[in-house]
Amino acid sequence: MAGNSLVLPIVLWGRKAPTHCISAILLMDDVSMIVTGCHDGQISLWDLSFDLEINPRALLFGHTASVTCLSKASASSEKQYIVSASESGEMCLWDVNDGRCIEFTKLACTHTGIQFYQFPVGTQREGRLLCHGHYPEILVVDVTSLEVLYSLVSKISPDWISSMSIIRSHRTQEDTVVAVSVTGILKVWIITSEVSHMQDTEPLFEEESKPIYCQNCQSISFCAFTQQSLLVVCSKYWRVFDAGDYSLLCSVPSENGQTWTGGDFVSADKVIIWTEDGQSFIYKLPASCLPASDTFRSDVGKAVENLIPPLLFSVLDRADKQLLICPPVTRFFYGRRECFHKLLIQGDSSGRLCIWSVPDTLEVQDKTKGLEMTTSTSLQAAFHKLTPRPAGIIDQLSLIPNSNEPLKVTASVYIPAHGRLVCGREDGSIVIVPATQTAIVQLLQGEHMLRRGWPPHRTLRGHRNKVTCLLYPHQVSPR
């Protein structure tokens, strides 16, 4: 839908919200909107109010495969752009204010992570997207044209990158990209302002390649509070490293067969790590991990088993344990604007978003209670709250006595040549209605509201069970 003329589709959803099995989450910088991508390729925009009330606003259609990652794509607060990538290699640039797709491209490979960063180019800073995925390098992509400008490659053991973090050093004015490959090797690239400035840049080789023996790395985060440590979360353990020389400071294994799926720093001395089941744990780091303490780095060089372990501080659990068909997606966001919210946001396969607001001063929690969820809603819950209820296309013809729900439509085909919509229903009946007139009934008020059984329609009865498939052969081939 790129282009100047905007065609706004209007959708008659019906009572049941569309499925939204969340696969990616993003919180916009001004904490006013949450963007979620799902396994079917749609992207949902949810408005977030000051008191953390969530309200789904729009559903963006564009991708044909599941959304793998989302990232912001603009720095300024006027343009709110995001970029999304899917399993089939599609990349889309969206304006989330009006839901327009501004740019679209398709690459041969899938991205599994994208981060927006402003690199210094000469005296200015230009926005770039750093992408990694099922290919052995990090691609630096122009944020407006979605073209690959250059790539960060490895000389030693080049392989797919699992996770990546960008560090800005105020001391040296250099930007460092730190990444972990699928074989557990830490890679470091240094991007100076000359590199970003060159046209047709040659690939940039890594500055350092250090095996850190981290298998199945899920995430890597740089501590924004101390600027001196790195958190690496793998599926069976999570570790803190010194960001200066990448030496190991502490390590925590997972318990009870749980799998860690990510984590982040919540303050200078606390980290939050979440699992595949949707539980999150806040740990207090030992003094040997804190640059401010006298015993910083006192454990460096010791074997993993002998490191002082962090203390479990608090557990964040879901209020209702609904049955999920795939692991939920959890991410921690630290708002940098007016409201310094620290939010843990989780989206799951039922189209539900849960938010925990992590207070700045965390007191020791009662271990059995944990930090309570602040708010939660789902697409279906939002649909239930609406009055009047969202209408389906032939609801007025599908009333069942003694039931609140209309008869379900189970198959349909639209015949443009005759302007007719044919709907098969779960009781075996087939209804043929004039398409535009039936839409008018739901959307507009008028004389038709007084007439019963309007629009004129035909009902065919013959099947005993729900209609599963309808075909109008003439539309497919005139013969």
Site residues (CB under 8 A) for other proteins? Answer: 21, 87, 108, 134-136, 158-160, 182-184, 211, 213, 215-216, 235, 257, 259, 276, 323-326, 349, 464-465
Burial class from Cβ neighbours inside 10 Å (0-12, 13-18, 19+) for residue 210 reads middle
Supply the minimum distance, in Å, between the C-beta of residue 259 and other proteins: 5
Quickly count: other Cβ atoms within 10 Å of residue 254's Cβ: 18
Nearer to other proteins, 291 or 428 (CB): 428
User: In b/e form, how buried is each residue of 335-348, taking b as 16+ CB within 10 angstroms?
Assistant: beeeeebbbbbbbb
Nearer to other proteins, 286 or 424 (CB): 424
Pairwise CA distance, residues 280 & 344, whole Å: 9
Supply the minimum distance, in Å, between the C-beta of residue 202 and other proteins: 12
> Cα-atom radius of gyration of the chain, to the nearest Å?
26
Supply the minimum distance, in Å, between the C-beta of residue 309 and other proteins: 23
Supply the minimum distance, in Å, between the C-beta of residue 219 and other proteins: 15
- Select from 151, 145, 158 the least CA-distant residue to 131: 151
Supply the minimum distance, in Å, between the C-beta of residue 211 and other proteins: 6
Judge if the upstream peptide bond of residue 327 is cis by omega within 30 degrees of 0: no
Nearer to other proteins, 68 or 74 (CB): 68
Supply the minimum distance, in Å, between the C-beta of residue 201 and other proteins: 15
Give residue 55's identity as a one-letter amino acid code: N
Nearer to other proteins, 159 or 208 (CB): 159
Pairwise CA distance, residues 258 & 274, whole Å: 10
Q: Which two tokens stand for residue 305?
A: 């088993």
Nearer to other proteins, 136 or 291 (CB): 136
Nearer to other proteins, 326 or 460 (CB): 326
Supply the minimum distance, in Å, between the C-beta of residue 327 and other proteins: 9
Supply the minimum distance, in Å, between the C-beta of residue 257 and other proteins: 6
Nearer to other proteins, 75 or 324 (CB): 324
With tokens 């085909």, the residue in question is 413
Quickly count: other Cβ atoms within 10 Å of residue 479's Cβ: 5
Supply the minimum distance, in Å, between the C-beta of residue 447 and other proteins: 42
Which residues are paired to 36 by β-bridges?
25, 44
Nearer to other proteins, 134 or 297 (CB): 134
Judge if the upstream peptide bond of residue 56 is cis by omega within 30 degrees of 0: no
| Furthest-apart CA atoms within the chain: distance in Å | 85
Supply the minimum distance, in Å, between the C-beta of residue 253 and other proteins: 15
Q: Which residues contact 241 (CB under 8 A, 6 or more apart)?
A: 212, 229, 230, 231, 232, 247, 248, 249
Q: Is the distance from CB of 98 to CB of 118 less than 8 angstroms?
A: no
Nearer to other proteins, 227 or 235 (CB): 235
Nearer to other proteins, 411 or 432 (CB): 411
Q: Which two tokens stand for residue 308?
A: 């002082």
Pairwise CA distance, residues 215 & 205, whole Å: 23
Pairwise CA distance, residues 64 & 42, whole Å: 8
Nearer to other proteins, 23 or 438 (CB): 23
Nearer to other proteins, 13 or 160 (CB): 160
**Length of the chain as a residue count:** 479
Pairwise CA distance, residues 116 & 93, whole Å: 12
Q: Which two tokens stand for residue 21?
A: 């099995």
Supply the minimum distance, in Å, between the C-beta of residue 435 and other proteins: 30
Pairwise CA distance, residues 353 & 45, whole Å: 12
- Select from 25, 53, 72, 125 the least CA-distant residue to 337: 72
| Cα–Cα separations (whole angstroms), residue 166 to 28, 130, 187 | 18, 9, 12
Handedness of CA 242, 244, 246, 247 (dihedral sign): negative
- Select from 313, 317, 315 the least CA-distant residue to 376: 317
Supply the minimum distance, in Å, between the C-beta of residue 325 and other proteins: 4
